[in-house]
Amino acid sequence: MTCKDCKFFYPVAEGEFDYEQGKGDCVNALQDSKGKYWLVRKAKEDAPSCANFKPNLK
Amino acid sequence: MASAAVLAEIKQEMNLETNEPFGKAIWDKKLKEGPGSTPKTKHLYKRCRWAHTAGGLYVDEEIKISLQRARLYTEAHKANAGEISVIQRAKCLEHYLKNCDLYIQDEEILVGVNSARPATLELYPEGGAANMFDYLEDETLCPPELYDEGVEMVEYWKQWSLSAMCERYVDPEDLRVMSSAVTGETPVWTHFYTNCIPPYQSVLEDGLEKRIEWCEKNIKNAKAKLRQYPWNGEENFPLFEKIDNWTAMIISAKAVIGWARRYSRLARIIAEDFDLSDSVSGANQRKKELLEVADICYNVPAKPARGLKDAMQSKWFCYMIVQNIERYSSGYSQLEDDLLWPYYKRSVIDKTGQPMTRAEAIELIECERLKVCERTVTKGRWMRIIHPGINDLHILSIGGLDENGNDMSTDLTDAILEAALNIHTNEPSIAFKYSPKINEKTRRLVYECVSQGYGFPSIKHHERNTKHSIEKHDWPPEVAARWALVLCMAPGATGRYSTQHSRNEGGGGIDGPNQGLLALWDGYDDWFSKSQVGVHTGDASKFTWEELLKAVRTQIENSAQLMFMNKEITSYAEGKRLESPFLAIMDDWNVEEGVGAYERYNKPYTNTWSSYYPGPLAIADDLTAIKYWIFDKKKYTMAQLLEALKANWNGYEEMRQEFLSAPKFGNDDDYADEIARWVFDTSTDVWETVKMLGAPKGVQHIAQSVSAFVTRGPMVGAEPFGRRHGEPTHDGGVSPYMGLDKKGPTAVLKSVSKLPHDRMKGNQLNQRLPVGLMRESEKGFDVWTAYMKTWHDLGIDHVQFNVVRTEDMRAAQKEPEKWDHLIVRIAGYSARFISLSKLAQDSIISRTVQELG
Ligand code: SF4
């Protein structure tokens, strides 16, 4: 499985400022001692999935 | 008599049903219910990630460095090697904004961050090695896995950094003196600290898309001019550089629009795809809020603000870029009520754009205050040490009169003050442009904030400061009237055009007390650097009174010369190496002329100023004690005094007590006050003699202290007025030494009024007033108003108040965990008392409580 198959992977549309072929956004909900936050990081479509991977059922 | 109707209106707006004095009722309510006017801001206050420092260290131990910005900037710098510097800077910004991580925190309605994760600090390798190593070598801040990569970056930037360029122009001996910290602030390029006023108004009114079109049109016209026959080199040559500047502005602005829209996308994804059931607003409401955030971030800063929500978000995005991402810059400088009033009116009063209630607007302002408290700031240890208890010098301005003398305060001014009363944060501080012409309700709210012990609003004399800007900076009256403080004390132009962009134009300073001491020791500093840092002015044991004054002036001139030379060198270098094209596109003058953000040739509204910090009253009290006991009473000789000072007064207690008992500034005693006048006039003469770029009338002069009066104590040797080495120096710029003003508040005001306020840009005065009168009595407002009238009539520049009980401060020293809410005024800013060093706490406790009425 790769990031592309993950529920948290969001492709960036062509024409967007940060569009780059083969890359998208990985969005996760995270929690630390102070509170919750939602983080977006750049992820490669073909990168091997990480421990947070959830299958994309959309 | 204060109007009961005004008070009733405020109570109603703040939902306070009580017959107790208003200040006490607010205080008690906050202790009972906690800060925040709504469940959202109560929650955000509780989970606020305070990012302040104390003793140079970050109080929250979870704060760590990140290398994301440094890494992305380094990558882009390498990838664009050989490119014109300003375009290279734009491409670094673009690369960062495209690839950086972003996050939105729970309950936020104002978004935008400057770091890869909450509670992380991003670094600025382009500043220089000193600041990078300051963070990399601090094991409490630098995760070990980042160290080697950080060092590699330092190596790369060695040849490209601001400090590397500046060092070329400085003689090594001068560099040693400037870096000693004894004569004054170390160079900007060693601690990488600067400040500016972003011209927000242009972006809120125009939107960036319109400004990009303006730059594109300028490029088109310039290229057309190049094709005109016959060729005119005089006119055409400058166009090449202008085209580069406009190109860099366009790249930056497009990148900022794209970055804001990344937030828009993120907010929509969170709203649509994530579980929001634990939101304090409820899942549906939170989803609605996030979708609105998505809409706002899509709209601004690309387009003009439609209402208050857009305006606040657009302002915050610009702030993040200009003062946190494009480079670090201190401050939160803006005339906030004037800037946001059109949008507040549209949303809250007319309901024609982004309609909202007044209470919702206040909630948004509370959110902004909390967001400022969470701003993680990377600045040199020198600056962290002199800013204890805060993240940074965040000071916004409100109030004042327009050029025709009309009250500029609006319902938004009152909403800003009410939000401050609700949320009880020490940051951002507020400066109030005071005039008795300002309506009573606004003045009452100012008073209520003061009575809570916030130490803000600090009060600046509106008319005096406006007049000074017209006379000394040649600003037109409508510009001069709309000043906002740049940092603690200095007014700067606001608006769309030609605002201050760098500390090298206005800021920095030399140490007050040490100028007098260097004159006593032939320029040698035996207390901190153990080296020659001043010029040789001769053996003081043989000085006549006149020779002593001459030596003091010579030391001032020498330290000031080093400071001014360094400011201009840095200014030149930042234009060549460290341009900020996004800041440039915000400013109409830069876009019109096609010049970089740090250009100062022919700049219309220059703001050249610098300070003494700590202030120079130490010189005055020292000289007064010397004159009194040595040259007038002839009880001691200069040689005896030097012996006693060398011994740090040890073994000379009787003599020290006599020098302490000599006349002192702050007691309406002409003997001391005339010498203080000489010190201030002499210093102002020196500043005015200096012709920095764009300042034909000389550099404008300010006396203030930040908190350097405590932190610099170890750098200032024993003083003739009776102070020992290491003890706090004079507090403020024109505040009498703690505990030595013995004749009451009017005597202080009279002494202060004898100083040359009209010649100066600012003079910081700290006063301490009793809690019983200010917070717990019905007559406090009337008594304070009478005091303010005297202050205003005397033409004094500034005043700020601590309203805090000695017993509360002592209790907080014993059980800090119970006194998290205690705020005190330090200097140009307010801090949580428990975050201060014991010495700083004691110095606040030692300030004389002035009994009014
Ligand atoms: S990095 Fe992990 S969580 Fe993110 S998209 Fe890839 S697999 Fe999913």
- Which of A36 and B704 is assigned the larger pLDDT? A36
Among the atoms of ligand 1, which is closest to the Cα of residue A7? 8
The number of beta carbons lying within 10 Å of the beta carbon of residue A29 is 16
Lowest mean pLDDT among A2-16, B23-37, B563-577: B23-37
Dist CA B328 CA B193 (whole Å): 7
Closest residue by Cα to residue B340 from B441, B438, B196, B205: B205
Check CB contact of A10 with chain B, cutoff 8 Å: yes
Neighbours of B329 (CB within 10 A): 24
Domains and CATH numbers, chain B: 1-58+344-495+769-853 (3.20.70.20)
Using CA atoms, how far apart are residues B280 and B107, in angstroms rounded to an integer? 8
Handedness of CA B99, B325, B497, B249 (dihedral sign): negative
**Testing the interface with A: which of B71, B212, B270, B281 to mutate, by most A Cβ within 10 A?**
B270
Assigned token pair, A48: 């091997």
Q: Which residue has the CA at smallest separation from atom 4 of ligand 1?
A: A26
- Chain A positions in Cβ-Cβ contact with residue B259 (cut-off 8 Å): 17
Residues with beta carbon inside 6 Å of ligand 1?
Answer: A 3, 6, 8-9, 26, 28, 43, 49-50, 52-53
Interface A:B, Cβ pairs < 8 A: 69
User: What end-to-end distance do the CA atoms of chain A give, in Å?
Assistant: 16
Lowest-pLDDT choice from B41-55, B283-297, B323-337, B378-392: B378-392
Please judge whether B118 and A37 are an interchain contact, meaning their C-beta atoms are less than 8 angstroms apart.
Answer: yes
Is the separation of the CB atoms in B188 and B570 below 8 Å? yes
What percent of chain B is predicted at pLDDT more than 90?
Answer: 82
Residue pair B667/B347 in contact (Cβ under 8 Å)? The answer is no
Task: Name the minimum distance, in Å, from the CA of B270 to any CA of chain A.
Answer: 7
Residue at A56 is within a domain: no
ipTM (interface pTM):
0.98
Asked whether residue A15 is domain-assigned, the answer is yes
Residue A20 in any domain: the answer is yes
Measured CA to CA, the distance from residue B95 to residue B76 in angstroms comes to: 6
CA atoms of B4 and B844, how far apart (whole Å)? 34
CB contact under 8 A, A17 and B257: yes
Tell me the β-bridge partners of B832.
B823
- The CA distance from B452 to B771, in Å, is 9
Q: Kindly state whether A39 is in contact with chain B, defined as any CB-CB distance less than 8 angstroms.
A: yes
Percent of chain B with pLDDT over 70: 99
Chain B neighbors of A27, CB-CB under 8 A: 266, 269-270, 273
Is A19 part of any domain? yes
- For residue B85, how far is its CA from the centre of ligand 1 (angstroms)? 37
What HEC string does B151-174 produce? HHHHHHHCCCCHHHHHHCCCCHHH
pLDDT band at B843 (very low <50, low <70, confident <90, very high): confident
Pairing of strands B762-763, B700-703: parallel
DSSP code for B629: I
* Bridge partners (DSSP) listed for residue A40: A27, B102
Task: State the DSSP H helix or E strand holding residue B121, giving kind and residue range, or none if neither.
Answer: strand B120-122
B280 C-alpha vs ligand 1 centroid, how far in Å? 28
pLDDT range class, residue B18, cuts 50, 70, 90: confident
Q: Region A13-38: what's the mean pLDDT?
A: 96
Whether residue A40 and residue B49 make contact (CB cut-off 8 A), yes or no, is no
Write out the residue range of the structural domain in which residue A31 sits. 3-44
Question: CB-based contacts of B502: which residues, under 8 Å, 6+ apart?
Answer: B194, B195, B196, B571, B574, B597, B598
In a domain, A16, yes or no: yes
Chain B partners within 8 Å of A10 (Cβ): 265, 269
Please say if the pLDDT value at position B119 is more than 70. Answer: yes
Distance B15 CA to ligand 1 centre (A): 48
Chain B contacts of A18, Cβ < 8 Å? 98-99, 258, 262
Q: From B118, B117, B156, B154, select the one nearest B135 (Cα to Cα).
A: B154
Q: Do B106 and A27 touch (CB under 8 A)?
A: no
Query: Which tens digits make up the pLDDT trace of B273-284?
Result: 999 999 999 999
The C-alpha atoms of residue B342 and residue B346 are separated, in whole angstroms, by 6
Q: Which residue of A has its CA nearest to B49?
A: A34
Q: Residue holding tokens 């019983």?
A: B772
Please state the pTM of the whole predicted model: 0.96
Q: Which atom, in ligand 1's list, is nearest to the CA of A49?
A: 7
**B240 contact A CB<8A:** no
Tokens of B400: 């004042």
Kindly list the distances between the CA atom of residue B695 and the CA atoms of B32, B467, B504, B557, B688, in Å, as whole numbers in the listed order.
53, 17, 13, 18, 9
Taking CA atoms only, the protein residue closest to ligand 1 atom 6 is A3
Asked whether B537 and B546 are in contact (CB, 8 A), the reply is no
CB B408 within 8 A of CB B337: yes
Where is mean pLDDT largest: B293-307, B740-754, B819-833? B293-307
B259 inside 8 A of chain A by CB: yes
Q: Least CA distance to B279: which residue of chain A?
A: A36
The answer to whether B503 and B191 have CB atoms below 8 angstroms apart is no
What is the 3-class SS of chain A, one letter each residue?
Answer: CEHHHECCEEECCCCCCCCCCCEEEEEEEEECCCCEEEEEEEEECCCECCCCCCECCC
- C-alpha span between B727 and B719 (Å, rounded): 10
Q: Which amino acid is located at B665 in the chain?
A: F
Residue for token pair 């309506």 = B439
What is the distance between the alpha carbons of residues B395 and B324, in angstroms, rounded to a whole number?
Answer: 16
The number of domains in chain A is 1
- B828 pLDDT band, cuts 50/70/90, is low
Task: Say how far apart CA B110 and CA B40 lie, in whole Å.
Answer: 12
> What would the 3-class secondary structure string for B390-448 be?
CCCCCEEEEECECCCCCECCCHHHHHHHHHHHHHCCCCCEEEEEECCCCCHHHHHHHHH
A38 closest CB neighbour out of B98, B258, B270: B270
Q: Cβ–Cβ of B118/A29 closer than 8 Å?
A: no
Rounded Cα–Cα distance for residues B488 and B485 (Å): 6
The pLDDT mean for chain B works out to 94
Q: How far is the CA of A36 from the centre of ligand 1 (A)?
A: 18
Decide if B470 touches A, using CB distance below 8 A: no
Tokens (6 digits) for B630: 């040595």
B54-59 contacts: CB < 8 A, separation 24 or more?
B54/B388, B54/B389, B54/B835, B54/B836, B54/B837, B55/B385, B55/B388, B55/B837, B56/B381, B56/B384, B56/B385, B57/B140, B57/B384, B58/B121, B58/B140, B58/B141, B59/B835
Nearest atom within ligand 1 for CA of residue A6:
8
- Inter-chain CB proximity B103 and A37 less than 8 Å: yes
Q: Residue B193 is encoded by which pair of tokens?
A: 């600290």
Whether the CB-CB separation of B424 and B30 falls below 8 Å is answered with yes
Compare all CA atoms of chain A with the CA of B267 and give the residue at the minimum distance: A38
Cα B339 from chain centre: 18
Tell which wins on pLDDT, B186 or B630: B630
- For residue A54, is it within any domain? no
Most informative mutation of A50, A54, A58 for ligand 1 (most atoms within 8 A of CB): A50
Condensed to tens digits (0 to 9), the pLDDT of residues B713-747 reads: 888 999 999 999 999 898 878 899 988 989 988 99
Q: Residues of A with CB below 8 A from B105's CB? A: 35-37
Query: Rounded to a whole number, what is the distance in Å from the CA of B581 to chain A's nearest CA?
Result: 18
Burial class (CB in 10 A: 0-12, 13-18, 19+), A21: exposed
Contact B765, B794 (CB under 8 A): no
The three state secondary structure string of B531-590 is: EECCCCCCCHHHCCHHHHHHHHHHHHHHHHHHHHHHHHHHHHHHHHHCCCHHHHHHCHHH
* Interface membership of A41 toward B (CB under 8 Å): yes
Query: Shortest CA distance to B610 belongs to which of B487, B730, B513?
Result: B487
- pLDDT for B406: 98
| Residue B258 to residue A25, Cβ atoms within 8 A | no
Q: A17 and chain B: CB distance < 8 Å anywhere?
A: yes
Cβ atoms within 10 A of the Cβ of B851, count?
A: 12
Tell how far the Cα of B759 is from the centroid of ligand 1, in angstroms.
63
Determine the distance separating the centroid of ligand 1 and the alpha carbon of B96, expressed in angstroms. 21
Q: Are B606 and B669 in contact (CB under 8 A)?
A: no
B62 close to A (CB below 8 A): yes
CA of A11 to the centre of ligand 1 (A): 12
Contact present, B558 and B177 (Cβ < 8 Å): no
- pLDDT of residue B170 exceeding 90: yes
- At residue B840, does pLDDT exceed 80? no
Burial code (b: 16+ CB inside 10 Å, e: under 16) for B265-275 equals bbbbbbbeebe
With an 8 Å Cβ cutoff, is A19 touching chain B? Answer: no
Residue B23 is inside which H or E element, if any? helix B22-33
Compute the half-sphere exposure of residue B69: CA atoms within 13 Å on the CB side of its CA: 25
Contacts for B625-630: CB closer than 8 Å, 24+ residues apart: B625/B659, B625/B660, B625/B662, B625/B720, B625/B721, B625/B722, B626/B548, B626/B720, B627/B545, B627/B675, B628/B662, B628/B663, B628/B671, B629/B658, B629/B659, B629/B662
Q: What is the DSSP letter of B355?
A: -
- Cα separation, B625 vs B615, in Å, equals 18
Residue B2: the pLDDT is 56
**What's the pLDDT score for residue B203?**
98
To the nearest whole Å, the CA of A20 is away from the closest chain B CA by 10
**B49 touching A (Cβ < 8 Å):** yes
Please give the structure tokens belonging to residue B766: 């700290």
Binned at pLDDT 50, 70 and 90, residue B1 comes out as: very low
Please report whether residue A8 resides in a domain.
yes
Residue A40, domain member (yes or no): yes
Helix (H) or strand (E) holding B256: helix B233-273
Rounded Cα gap, residues B306 and B301, in angstroms? 11
The interaxial angle of helices B336-344 and B308-320, nearest 10 deg, is: 140
